[in-house]
Amino acid sequence: MASSSSSSSSLSSPIPPQQKHEIQEKYDLFLSFRGEDTRNGFASYLYGALSAKQISTFMDDHELERGDEISPTLRKAIEESKISVIIFSENYAFSTWCLDELLQILECRRTNGQIVMPIFYGIDPSVVRKQNGSYGVAFAQLEHRFQDKMEKVQQWRYALTEASNLCGLDSKGFRPELKLVQKIVEDISLQLPKYQPSNEHYKRGGLIGIEESIKKVKSLLSIGSKDVRIIGIWGMGGIGKTTLASVVYQELSNSQFEGCSFLPNVKEECERRTPYHFRKKLLCELLNEKAILKMNTPFVASPYILDKLRHKKVFIVLDNVDDWIQLDALVEGYDQFAPGSRIIVTTRNVQVLKKVADQNIYKVEGLSQSDSLELFRFHAFGKNSPPIDDAMLLKSVVSYADGNPLALKVLGCFLRSRNKQDWENVLYNLQKFPDQDKIFNVLRTSYEGLDEGIQNIFLDITCLFNGSFTRNEAERLLDSGDSLVKIGMDVLIENSLIEDGKHWVDNQLWMHDLLRQMGRKIVCDGHKEAGDRSRLWDANDVCHILERNTGTVAVEVISLNMSEMTRDVKVCRSALSKMCNLRILKIYCDNIDIDDNKFERKFKFNLLQGLDPYLSEKLKYFRWDLYPLKSLPSNFTLENLVELILRGSHVEKLIWSHEVQSVPVLRRMDLSYSKLLTEIPDLSQLAPNLESINLAGCTNLVEVLPSLQNLHKLTYLNLDGCSKLSEFKEISRSRWYLDLVKFGGIKNFLINICQQKLAFLKRFTNNISSLSSPGSHMICQQFPVNLTVLRLRSLPIEAVPLSIVSLFGLVELDLSCCKRLKSLPTNICKLRSLELLNLHCCSKLENFPQILEPMEHLTDLTISRTGIKELPESIDNLISLQILQLESCKEIEFLPNTLCDSRTLQFLYLGSCSKLQKLSPLPPALLFLKVPCCDSLKSLPELPLFCESVDARHCTSLEKVSDWRTAIQHITEQIPSKVDFFGCQKLDQNTLNIIIPDNAIFNILQSANSNSEAELCYPGDQIPNWFRDQTSGTSLKITLPSLWNDDNFLGLALCVVLDVNKKKPYAQVRINFKLNFKTIDDECPRKFHSNMLVPADKCLDHVYIMHVSKWLLSLPSPLQLKSCVSEVSLHVFPSFLDYCDPFNPYAELLNLENEYCEIKKCGVWFINKEDVERFNAETIQCKKKRQRFDDECCEASGSGSGSDEFVPSGSHYEEDHHD
């Protein structure tokens, strides 16, 4: 039955499929509707709202149905959707197309478990169920039309009856429509995570016995509650903590949250890069701002970051956290996230969780015997019949894994395809070990079953390659001239001892912690002295050996992370000479950003006597970050060297020994930021197989070519920052990646590209001020057909080669700052894969081409600072456009009317379009409208229902603003949370005294009701009357309502009148509030500041209003404060922020209260539920009052807040307190 409300969800539960089809879901939702009824209205609004929540929705864009049956494309879209929403409207049953869609949807419900949600839009559910009314008329026509196919008509009738009996929503119960849209989106968002395939789905992926754990973790997460919550997943190694967290993350991160991040291997990553580096990566992912990576502040809780985070509902998984320092560094101030945020932490150390998740810890137990057997069978036999029919033998082998999934997986893979005798031998060996080492010995059994050569590969990965090399890189360094390494890698993967990186960061090799610990224990067993071990990785051991010269011929691998050093080390001159079998030397500093030119480290190497000239002839990998000597050892044999890495070294000349004729296998050379380097040898003769050269930051390097002239295999060349290179001669052959981003010193760059050699080109990046082909002033006319990214910034080109339209795989085209560019190809719409087009600062570009056919993938279009005068009406063919940037287009006067038809446009930036006078109706899905400094703009149209932010500051001609509550009746509905009219001095009296104040109270009460934030700024010198507590000056003592801190309390609103009386270049004003709750024994201060920054430009008085949610206020419990608060006071003061450096918290200057900005008045309002209810009741009456004001009223003067005054209930306030 359809209902207008539901306590949990309005979606029908899926039918448990008897035999669920293997369908790969492509869409979250399929939208079925009758086009002529709802396409340009309700369906479009719903689609926009779903898109704003990142819910992938299929909506058929065809205006006319073709034929009697739905297309295969539609059938496929229905099958590939998780949820179907059916909008039953007045004329739905007249369409056989819609009715066939309905049949297909219900079939997917039965066979695939698809969730179905009917919406009865302007039609009674009984009309659909009984097919009377308009549906009866429709079926009379259908029966006449399909006289020879009556069984089809009957199927449609059954389908309508079945669908109308499902739990859905009736539009009659929701006024206005926005409430219905919000309810649908809310229910969809809640149901998507519940779209959980059956237990069989987990089993098909080898996730056996996990479903109950998933349910318990989700219960602890309590999605839907408004608190910010950390939950812990605790258990021993290999027990499945990461797997459990990964599955929960995948199921919940879809549409529930605004920012999501899964950080694997926190312990290992923090050891390699420090927690603070890892934290920057987390913030960058959550806020989608790469600029955060440049921040130097060691504190997460900087004002800039907190401003961003407290508006973001986030979902974070921190995997394998080892101690409290890591957790604190990554999520310090986690309670500042937006309400509803969730953090999952997996750890072996339960003490890590005690401070933050004491009541929300889930302990992962081992698998039951039956689940253990099933998981073991999955890996040992797959879908094949077990060759072992001895049930007792199976159970005995499995029992030694003790329910540990990792051990079961490794053991099962090891015994796969082995005979019964092998199984009995394994069981015999396991029985020899003590019970306390069960799991460790299960893993060791798999290792001991490997050939010796493969065992050595495993130990190399254990001690060196895990998490820092890809499989290809590791194979290249371990290669001994035969196929053993590749085969060995395959065997290790097949035995689940390593993973090849496809599912891990940067495709790196990965190994479970337990396996790494086992491997390192094997290396240490039997060798008390570190110098007698084959592989060294412990910093103390390596430093001891280098100082005392105790290394032996046994040493093959040294890996030293200098950040783990605890003292300065005086390296013995002959420390490496005795290690004649040394294959790999890696001395590195992963916690130092060499690329950022920061080389400081606490402890250093001292090589005053240099190094013995004789190093191992077997060296394949030589890496020494910050290498302290001026040259390499004179007798360094290089014939086996594959990689030479000396980042940030003191090397002055890279000179090989005279005995070295060639370095035949050298593939990679990295001397980046070796600032003393002046010369490199002729590499084309010495190292003809070089593939990668990085000389970035070598500021004293004078000449590179012709050294590179004949390196035919070179694919990577980085000369960023080589400022003394004065001439670049011809480079021949292929280059698939030229990173020349800061190549400011280059005077001539002549490029002769062989097109056949470039057939595999994937990326071409160029920031050089002058690029030309020999004998031409134009860029090359042909591009490789596989090109995906083409950046031609700042080139002196007047036209783009026509051949560009043949780049069907091109995703990004950047032509920014091509100041001579006059035109684009008219058939640019042929770039079907294009997602981003950047034309920023193409100042001579006056016309944007017609979009002659739909471009399905273009989401980001930047045309800012161009000479474009108008956009074509055909811009509606950009059917996926989300971001349109038109800042500083000085010639543009209007936008095409077709822009309002866009269902996807969310961000519209029009700042400083000085001739723009009028905006056409805005697209329904628009979230952010920015029109600052549009000097000719006189009015703003009605805002879309879901618009969150309006920035119209310094629109000096702006006179009228539409009431943004036109379609809204109650404050429970969506309204803009940020509205800025700073410097709009020509706003008429009706707008200033009625529309803005009325909408302001609407914003404030809606934010209070939804526990969110809101800000407004507009010209004025009066605090609205509904701020009952207000005064002149910067300080105010507040008398609290009697029930101010009970469950009815929703938050508070703060207001000031400010006067920016002096211009301060490169600065903005921030308003700071200090609210102090004084108790008998102590004080409870709370500090807030405006997120909206006011320009420090001399301007008339302005009103600034801010809502502070109850959650952000974070007051102690009512019992703690209600009985003991003796006084509450408010103090307001301005500060200044240098907006040239918004990431630097120290740029803020306090104590300049009157020099540039004066706070003239301040006010506060404690808001409760009764205020919301009273305002809802008065809304209709207020609308009637506003109708009295016509254009003649605009001529009347007035300085109050208008005639529609809302005053909070007097019973909540002391009547005699009013400054």
CA–CA distance, 808 with 61 (Å, rounded to integer):
23
CA–CA distance, 1215 with 1207 (Å, rounded to integer):
12
Structure tokens at 1102: 């302005």
The reply to whether 101 belongs to the active site is: yes
The pairing of strands 749-751 and 361-363 is unpaired
Quick count: other Cβ atoms within 10 Å of Cβ 789?
A: 15
Residue 1163 and residue 1169 in contact, taking contact as beta carbons nearer than 8 Å: no
Distance (Å) of CA 124 to CA 2, 149, 171, 561: 9, 28, 9, 71
CA–CA distance, 719 with 1029 (Å, rounded to integer):
64
Of 79, 101, 564, 973, which is the active-site residue? Answer: 101
Nearest residue to 1060 via CA among 1136, 1162, 949, 1147: 1136
Structure tokens at 958: 């702006």
CA–CA distance, 437 with 401 (Å, rounded to integer):
10
Interior angle at CA 144, CA 141 and CA 147, nearest 5 = 140
Can you list the alpha helix ranges (DSSP code H) found in 499-631?
513-524, 539-548
Type of residue found at 178 = L
**Residue 232, helix vs strand vs coil:** strand
Q: How many Å from the N-terminal Cα to the C-terminal Cα in the chain?
A: 57
CA–CA distance, 270 with 324 (Å, rounded to integer):
12
**CB-neighbour burial class of residue 1133 (10 A; exposed 0-12, middle 13-18, buried 19+):** buried
Q: Which neighbouring-strand residues pair with 986?
A: none
Residue 837 and residue 807 in contact, taking contact as beta carbons nearer than 8 Å: no
CA–CA distance, 307 with 338 (Å, rounded to integer):
10
DSSP annotation of 562 reads G
CA–CA distance, 167 with 901 (Å, rounded to integer):
32
What is the number of residues in the chain? 1219
**CB-neighbour burial class of residue 980 (10 A; exposed 0-12, middle 13-18, buried 19+):** buried
Residue 457 and residue 492 in contact, taking contact as beta carbons nearer than 8 Å: yes
CA–CA distance, 350 with 361 (Å, rounded to integer):
8
Q: Which neighbouring-strand residues pair with 3?
A: 169
DSSP annotation of 923 reads P
> What residues contact residue 888 under an 8 Å CB cut-off, 6+ apart?
864, 865, 911, 912, 913
Backbone angles phi, psi at 269, to 5 degrees: -65, -40
Backbone angles phi, psi at 156, to 5 degrees: -65, -40
Q: Give the chain's radius of gyration (CA, Å).
A: 35
Residue 229 and residue 217 in contact, taking contact as beta carbons nearer than 8 Å: no
Residue 848 and residue 825 in contact, taking contact as beta carbons nearer than 8 Å: no
CA–CA distance, 1205 with 1198 (Å, rounded to integer):
14
- The whole-angstrom distance between residue 518's C-alpha and the CA centroid of its chain comes to 35
Structure tokens at 486: 């590749």
Residue 163 and residue 119 in contact, taking contact as beta carbons nearer than 8 Å: no
DSSP annotation of 1079 reads E
Name the residue with tokens 């019973």: 1211
Which long-range contacts link 15-23 to residues 24+ away (Cβ below 8 Å)?
A: 15/109, 15/110, 15/113, 16/113, 16/198, 17/110, 17/111, 17/112, 17/113, 17/198, 19/111, 20/111, 20/112, 20/113, 20/197, 20/198, 20/200, 20/201, 21/79, 21/111, 21/112, 23/79, 23/80, 23/112
Backbone angles phi, psi at 51, to 5 degrees: -65, -40
Catalytic residue numbers? 101
